[in-house]
Structure 1
């Protein structure tokens, strides 16, 4: 009699544990799909700036929120290939611009590392440049705590 009760209790405990593990696994998969729904860098870049509210700004206001990084030259992943590039970064607000300027060494490092890991085929043409800009936006936005990077513009591009 006591053995039967002990057996039933242990079977019940195993069933409860199995149900909890199953529910946890389903919840984990559901949450993982939401977080990893987009692996496309362009979509990630768009979602990272989705909460930036767009107001019509004058050219002077845009210029006041823009930081230039001029003439970065680095080797590409391809042997004997070099790129010299300049960027303009449009930021959300003046606090973000100030923070961005203070972190310019990190931004330059991110740009150089991203380009150094890229091949000519990955960055050539408009699609390649768009993908590279999206990757840069995804890497730079997390280091900014005062706001977001809204847009990156390529202002000079020489690929040799």
Structure 2
């Protein structure tokens, strides 16, 4: 390459340091930077993985009649597909949960949150390809 042996050694060391620096930079950006995993999903992301139940009418323990409809947010698209296939099981779970409640149990936000959480837990018991992240009560009429 060059006539001077010292210049050759310096160029080789400079290229080695440059390669080590570039490799360090690539590894740092790929593995050590924080991801935005804890960021809230956008509404478009939520709608992509959400499914709606049909309106369900059933009796409560207190002889009242209730009409409900839920929107269920799942963790991925395959879970949404599985959820739609398990429609009959989901309806059964919702009817079972509602039939154990009285009209007064569904009064107020605490009662509604309790129902949503119980439905979420019960649906997760039957899901295999994913899980339910959140259940939203879309419609509730007690007569």
Aligned residue in 1 for 2:127: 144
Aligned residue in 2 for 1:84: 67
Unaligned 5+ residue runs, structure 1?
1-52
When normalised by structure 2's length, the TM-score is 0.70
> Runs in 1 of length 4+ with deviation above 4 angstroms?
none
Query: What is the SS of the residue equivalent to 2:69?
Result: strand
Determine which structure has more spread, i.e. the larger CA radius of gyration.
2
Alpha-carbon RMSD across the aligned residues, in angstroms, is: 1.3
Aligned residue in 2 for 1:27: none
Query: What is the SS of the residue equivalent to 1:70?
Result: coil
How far apart, CA to CA, are the structure 2 residues paired with 1:137 and 1:131? Answer: 10
1:59 CA displacement:
1.9
Aligned residue in 2 for 1:126: 109
When normalised by structure 1's length, the TM-score is 0.63
Unaligned 5+ residue runs, structure 2?
1-36
